[in-house]
Amino acid sequence: MIIKDQLRAIPLPVICRREGKDCYYDPYRQKLVEVTPEEMVRQKITAFYEKEYDVPKDMFWLEVPMSYYIQGSRGRADVIIHGRDEMTGELYPIGVIECKNEETFLTDQTADQAIRYCDLIGGRYILLTNGVELKAAVYDQESDSYIYMDHIPTYEEMLGEEMIPELEESNASSEDEFVRFTMEELNEQALMEQYNDEGPWIFGLESPSWLKSFSVNLFQCLLDTDHILPPYECPVFELIQDVGLRDMDYVNGGGGHFHGLYRSFLVKDRFGEMQLISMSVFGTDPDFRGENRKSYTLLNVAVDTLKTSHNVLQYNLDKYACLTEDSVKFYHNGRMGRRKKSQVLDTVQHLGAGLKLDHKGIFIGELPTDRLLYLDDKKVCPLIYNLIEYTLLRDEVRKKKD
């Protein structure tokens, strides 16, 4: 099947610069990836198969190491398509897409590589493409071989006829509707404690009652993808895209893990570099490494590069957030690991756009306490923008040589 014209009609992600390289923000892997001819085909064929053949977005895994499925296995598949087990909810592989650039012919060697991956993971379908042509083959048990098909299989066909009713039923209820707490519920401490205990801690055990309620409000604000952070530009950065939620695990220098759902934003810094900034709220573990620490509430902000990621701001809400009559004001003293506070303060003073210095330190912004928080609320946006700005300026300080 010739698909060149169809793929050309599919837009690629916006090209941006990171570490001197052109890159995309990949909506499937949810990270920055380097632009290559193969990556262009990978992005287009995945979007094409999602749009034309009804594969749910979260059923695609891109550039998957074979060792993920079979320990010690070598190689990395371009795209693996999955199904979902109706009983357990777990994903299982059903097919492999092997991508080559437009200058490469689809040969028996290309098919052999896809077959090897498909056999290894227990799939049934292989698809081969170079961005011009698309071929599909299915495993035939009687001949113990892959037979080329005269059409491109839909997702339902790849799952198998016996799975179609279950698929339709599961799609209707596969995602639970996200429901925010009301202000009345946020003020019910027993409900907040129950909510905290049922998942990753959102607030610390020793945080005051008002902060527990406020932290849940802020956390759910970040989870609420019905509300998108509006575009924004200042001398320090330009907000390119609110990319929504990502399940991430960021580790700090002390070995602490902060794993959970983060709200992520794609921004261009003042040097023209693309940055992926993520933030979430956590309650810290008092028994971390057996050190019997205090359990407080933390706003964690991290930055992803092309290959690595790191925490930039671990904001202790118990220590720095100030409750007033109708708002919570966010201050910080500029503390940053081994760097001198004066370096951070000087950087903010000279380069800060939304950030301000006063007698209490760096004023980041404030949030109201009398309403639910939403990212597109004019009372909320400035704080999120300033957190992004502060993260970028702190990262500049981190990169400077002594």
Distance CA 62, CA 84 (A): 17
Predicted local confidence at residue 400, as pLDDT: 83
Predicted local confidence at residue 165, as pLDDT: 35
pLDDT digits (tens, 9 = 90+) for 163-173: 333 333 334 33
Average pLDDT over residues 107-120: 92
Predicted local confidence at residue 164, as pLDDT: 37
Distance CA 33, CA 29 (A): 9
pLDDT digits (tens, 9 = 90+) for 117-132: 999 999 999 999 999 9
Helix 209-223 to helix 189-198 angle, to the nearest 10 degrees? 50
Q: What is the average pLDDT score of the chain?
A: 90
pLDDT digits (tens, 9 = 90+) for 149-195: 999 999 999 998 543 333 333 343 344 568 899 999 999 999 999 99
Average pLDDT over residues 101-127: 92
> 388 in the Ramachandran plot: left (φ > 0), alpha (ψ -120 to 50) or beta?
alpha
**Structure-model confidence comparison of residues 87 and 375, the more confident one:** 375
pLDDT band of residue 253 (cuts 50, 70, 90) is: low
Predicted local confidence at residue 160, as pLDDT: 82
Q: H or E element: which one contains 386?
A: helix 381-399
Question: Among 7-16, 215-224, 340-349, which is the least confidently predicted range?
Answer: 7-16
> Quick count: other Cβ atoms within 10 Å of Cβ 268?
17
pLDDT over 90, % of the chain:
72
**Structure-model confidence comparison of residues 369 and 398, the more confident one:** 369
> Quick count: other Cβ atoms within 10 Å of Cβ 145?
10
Average pLDDT over residues 373-400: 96
Predicted local confidence at residue 292, as pLDDT: 53
Please check whether residue 242 is in contact with residue 225, taking contact to mean a CB–CB distance below 8 angstroms. no
Average pLDDT over residues 269-296: 84
pLDDT digits (tens, 9 = 90+) for 40-68: 999 999 999 999 988 999 999 999 899 98
